[in-house]
Amino acid sequence: MQRDLNNTLRISEIFYSIQGESTTVGWPTVFIRLTGCPLRCQYCDTSYAFTGGSIQTLDQIIEKTQLLHANSLMKPRITITGGEPLAQIGCKNLISQLCDLGYKVSIETSGAFDISNLDPRLMVVMDLKTPDSKESDKNMWQNIDHLKSVDQIKFVICTPEDYQWAKNNVLERKLYERCDVLFSPSYGQMGLRELAEGVLQDNLPVRLQTQLHKHIWGEEQGR
């Protein structure tokens, strides 16, 4: 029997945790991690999601999401992540169905896939790849034109050269006029203090962030 790609997804894991990044940092969140990613960023901390996982229908995914917060006093936020979630066709349908159910939904995407036809109720957190990620050639710069004011652009900074590259793109493209811009140090490669001092010295219109979940649970458990 042929698989219905519009109504099934290969899922790596579904779990309930604290959002560690973006402008919703700190909120209890259900994470739906899709399997597979065509990129190979040198700092990737979820390489286990490149392969494996299990095929699940959208109904099954939604049911598991609802069970995770059955005793909650409020609907948690939902983050769809990966891997690269937009590499699977059915992701767009999952987004719309979750939005229809009243969830506040965000997606963590590499910026290597078209975001122009995603549900407008979705909050997009788009990770523009820096040169030292080794995947900057995958950036679809035209995606910037489709970002909303509630969306975010994230740069993971690995080196001082990455910082200069990201700074130049923020200023020359006036990304801060489109939406919030996040600068995040690559864990173990760029110091948080070093990045903070650069942002202050250059008076950049960006928001510094760190991976809160790794400060809570550590490098191995943080996800």
* % of residues, the chain, pLDDT over 90: 86
pLDDT at 1: 67
DSSP string of 39-50? ---TT-S-GGGS
**Nearest Cα residue to 83 out of 128, 117, 44:** 44
Contact 34, 80 (CB under 8 A): yes
Structure tokens of 121? 């109720």
pLDDT at 214: 73
- Compute φ and ψ for 135, nearest 5 degrees: -135, 20
d(CA 132, CA 154) in angstroms, rounded, equals 15
| Structural domains of the chain, ranges and CATH numbers in brackets | 8-221 (3.20.20.70)
Q: What's the Cα-to-Cα distance from 164 to each of 118, 130, 152, 200, 202, rounded to whole Å?
A: 31, 10, 19, 14, 10
DSSP E strands in 103-146: the ranges are: 105-109, 123-127
- Compute φ and ψ for 129, nearest 5 degrees: -80, 130
Contact 147, 124 (CB under 8 A): yes
Which residues of the chain, if any, have pLDDT below 50?
Answer: 221-223
pLDDT at 222: 44
What average pLDDT does the structure give for the chain?
94
Contact 101, 58 (CB under 8 A): no
Q: State the DSSP code for 24.
A: T
pLDDT at 120: 98
Structure tokens of 126? 């788009």
Over residues 172-218, the pLDDT tens digits come to: 999 999 999 999 999 889 999 999 999 999 999 999 998 876 777 77
